[in-house]
Structure 1
Amino acid sequence: MNPRAVLFDLYYTLVCEREDNPFYETVAGELGLALETFRPHYNACGRPTMRGELDGMVGRVTEACRLAGHLAAPEAIIDVVERNMELFYGSVFIYGDAPDTLRRLRAGGFRLAIVSNASPYSEEVLRRSGLVADVDDIVMSYTLGTLKPDPRLYTEACQRLGVSPGDAIYVGDGGDDELEGARRIGMGTILVDRGLRHTDAARRFADRECKRLGEVVSAMTDLTSTLPEARRAAYR
């Protein structure tokens, strides 16, 4: 295999959100809700937001309040969310070896893209991370109205990079069945093992595993020489 492109997941692959993010408790409290009431409904609104069915963070919080049976004025929700978004952004950090990994791959001639199940506010997460400058394109689920493992997300990224899926590698932490989706259309896969609850289930769809992003470059070299040609040929 001679891959020409690498597609990266975003959350828990390149960036991570702190578990103690104060945004949720602050927003819930200012809107008159207990965190334990607000958070489950907020979480339930994640996938609709990432499909673009809810309008960003304001839409997600609004729907969470509705599901909790809590009536809050739209202008109050907008005010609370906008005043506290800095808490959210300040709780998302970039893995230290992410920039160097991306730059080494680009220096090696690979085309790079980020493919993420993500909401509109992830655009600002990316801007602040500085990773935008290190990739050639970004595909976010909310812009296509679907989520990984839908092949449309992977194929859209490959089309933008000018490669076929059979000439691309997908790198991710394995959430949302993303590795299975990538393999289904002929891509090679690398699991970044973050020790998350979905990690073990994702292993069977990984061609290679890494403990750190910095190991991806060497894993790419190994994968190039061993990935079966037959699995990729149909997708060229």
Structure 2
Amino acid sequence: MTIKAVLLDLDDTLWPVAPVIQHAEASLYQWMQEHVPAVAANYSVESMRQRRNKLVPTDPRFQYDLWVLRHTLLSQIFAEHDVPVAKADQAMAVFADARNKVSLYDDVVPALKVLSQRVLLGSVSNGFADLREIGLASHFRTSIAAREFGCAKPDPRIFLAACDALGVAPHEALYVGDDLLLDVQGAQQAGLRGAWMNRHSLEIKDERHQHIQPDAEFKNLHDLTKWL
């Protein structure tokens, strides 16, 4: 069956995300040391991460809106130290700016140029990277972020919304991502084909993943263009 549309995950599919988050959190903490030193004196990057994790179950929105999750945490700890909550907006601007300073995998730009000429191209992400700020938005016909849409992968609705935006049926779309559960299985359960972006030649060893059968497996986006 012909593939008319390709939907891509972002984090760890188009760029490695761990160093990006590490840099963003470090940039935020440096800002805090300069602008809200009383808060920085009582919190480290790790202790903020631990408190943020405890915050997640307290509001369903935190499951899909990571920006609001971080903003809520900052608002809480700023208020506890008599810092104007409005400074949380400034802090998040610092974090978001650093969050968009990604290092693309070498294959991404050349492959996107080819793919965007061959198929309808879209993205679906649970993160809040901004493709316009990163400089990739022009390659995509649609880009859906969980925080704006209102639910996150593997919810079928977010995959189906991307198909609707591109005007294709689910079976005419291929979703490509690095996470077997969220991306591959999530897409397949929504009626799309699901491909695994396995850049590091990982083996499926986890029992939670062994039942998942990707429709294709790629080491990079050049493999995807060849497969198409």
* Residue 115 to residue 45, structure 1, CA distance change in 2 (3 Å): farther
Q: Which residue of 1 aligns with 2:195?
A: 190
Tell me the TM-score normalised to structure 1 length: 0.75
Q: Does 1:117 align with 2:130?
A: no
Instruction: Tell me how far 1:215 sits from its aligned partner.
Output: 1.1
Q: Which residue of 1 aligns with 2:163?
A: 158
Deviations 1:14-52 (A, max 9, x none): 133353412354356443212221122335567844634
- Find 1:105's aligned residue among 115, 137, 147: 115
Q: Does 1:23 align with 2:31?
A: no
- Find 1:59's aligned residue among 63, 72, 75: 72
Paired with 1:84 and 1:181, the residues of 2 have a C-alpha distance of 29
Paired with 2:223 and 2:53, the residues of 1 have a C-alpha distance of 32
Tell me the TM-score normalised to structure 2 length: 0.77
Question: 2:112–2:139: 8 Å Cα contact kept in structure 1?
Answer: yes
Report which stretch shifted further, 161-170 or 38-47: 38-47
Paired with 1:38 and 1:81, the residues of 2 have a C-alpha distance of 14
Q: Which residue of 2 aligns with 1:35?
A: 45
Deviations 1:79-110 (A, max 9, x none): 444355444433x22222112222212222x1
Paired with 1:60 and 1:127, the residues of 2 have a C-alpha distance of 26
* Residue 52 to residue 166, structure 1, CA distance change in 2 (3 Å): same
What is the aligned-residue identity percentage? 23
Q: Does 1:78 align with 2:89?
A: yes
Paired with 1:72 and 1:16, the residues of 2 have a C-alpha distance of 37
Paired with 1:196 and 1:37, the residues of 2 have a C-alpha distance of 33
Question: 1:137–1:160: 8 Å Cα contact kept in structure 2?
Answer: yes
Question: 1:8–1:170: 8 Å Cα contact kept in structure 2?
Answer: yes
Q: Which runs of 5+ in 1 are unaligned?
A: 221-236
Q: Which residue of 2 aligns with 1:181?
A: 186
Q: Which residue of 2 aligns with 1:216?
A: 224
Q: Does 1:96 align with 2:96?
A: no
Q: Which runs of 5+ in 2 are unaligned?
A: none
* Residue 86 to residue 185, structure 1, CA distance change in 2 (3 Å): closer
SS at structure 1 position matched to 2:151: coil
Q: Which residue of 1 aligns with 2:4?
A: 4
Deviations 1:142-174 (A, max 9, x none): 122111011100100000100000111111111
Structure 2 counterpart of 1:5, one-letter code:
A
Paired with 2:81 and 2:181, the residues of 1 have a C-alpha distance of 32
Paired with 1:41 and 1:176, the residues of 2 have a C-alpha distance of 26
Structure 1 counterpart of 2:110, one-letter code:
D
- Find 2:140's aligned residue among 114, 121, 135: 135
Paired with 2:204 and 2:52, the residues of 1 have a C-alpha distance of 24
Runs of 4+ aligned structure 1 residues displaced above 6 Å come to 196-199
Paired with 1:114 and 1:3, the residues of 2 have a C-alpha distance of 15
* Residue 72 to residue 165, structure 1, CA distance change in 2 (3 Å): farther
Q: Does 1:207 align with 2:207?
A: no
SS at structure 1 position matched to 2:191: coil
